[in-house]
């Protein structure tokens, strides 16, 4: 019998409901997926993402940021929890705390984030509102390797969505979120299969310069509603 392939051990940091976390859980439920989630950690004990993890049989931890005098002390306990679980890669899934440069650098090239825009456009908050205000015709989402600067780092996968004439923030956000649920598991799969290599400020995927970009026309069946 062939030896089972080793799966990448993933820790997810979240603060809220965790629909992107659910997309990762669903992907990792497949035993052939090259990664497994071994810990879901939140700064919020009431985060519904923790309940999602429990239902999936994934270990959970809570590190409430409020008692800590410094971000460094808070992050030290996060690091201890990640180390205890044997985490190799961290995925941010709506973790609503700013991470220090020291923590990010400790996970250099091993921490992923998903952002609701086609980076480098619209870093920060209110991405859909800003895209609509600019009259953008194309919007989307990005999975990237985390760097200390806000929404910065090598881009792995992006997915485009059209901005329709009758869109408002809610409809555009829903279209983008459906694509987020596609590309976050895809990016983690690529990483788990060893197909992503960080080179300077970018990535190579299967030896070709990235990021992988999913055009709406090429894959409109995913999340078109």
Report the catalytic residues.
115
User: Are the CB atoms for 156 and 205 separated by under 8 Å?
Assistant: yes
Please tell me whether residue 207 adopts helix, strand or coil conformation: coil
Tokens 């990016």 found at: 187
The 8 Å CB, 24+ separation contacts for 41-46 are: 41/11, 41/12, 41/13, 41/14, 41/78, 41/81, 41/82, 42/13, 42/14, 42/15, 42/95, 43/15, 43/74, 43/95, 43/96, 43/97, 44/15, 44/16
Q: How far apart are the first and last CA of the chain?
A: 43
């Amino acid at each position: 019998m062939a030896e089972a392939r080793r799966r990448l051990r993933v820790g997810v940091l979240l603060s809220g409901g965790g629909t992107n976390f659910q997309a990762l859980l669903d992907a990792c439920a497949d035993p052939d997926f090259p990664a497994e989630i071994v810990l879901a950690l939140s700064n919020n004990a009431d985060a519904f993402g923790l309940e999602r993890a429990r239902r999936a049989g994934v270990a959970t931890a809570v590190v409430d940021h409020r008692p800590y005098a410094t971000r460094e002390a808070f992050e030290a306990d996060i690091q201890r929890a990640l180390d205890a679980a044997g985490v190799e890669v961290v995925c941010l899934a709506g973790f609503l705390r700013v991470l220090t440069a020291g923590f990010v650098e400790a996970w250099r090239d091993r921490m992923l984030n998903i952002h609701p825009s086609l980076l480098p456009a619209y870093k920060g908050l209110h991405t859909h509102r800003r895209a609509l205000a600019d009259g953008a015709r194309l919007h989307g989402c990005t999975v990237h390797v985390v760097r200390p600067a806000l929404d910065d780092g090598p881009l792995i996968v992006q997915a485009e969505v059209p901005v329709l004439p009758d869109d408002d923030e809610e409809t555009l956000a829903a279209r983008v979120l459906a694509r987020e649920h596609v590309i976050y598991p895809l990016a983690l799969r690529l990483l788990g299969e060893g197909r992503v290599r960080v080179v300077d400020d970018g990535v190579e995927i299967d030896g070709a310069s990235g990021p992988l970009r999913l055009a709406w026309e090429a894959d409109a069946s995913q999340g078109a509603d």
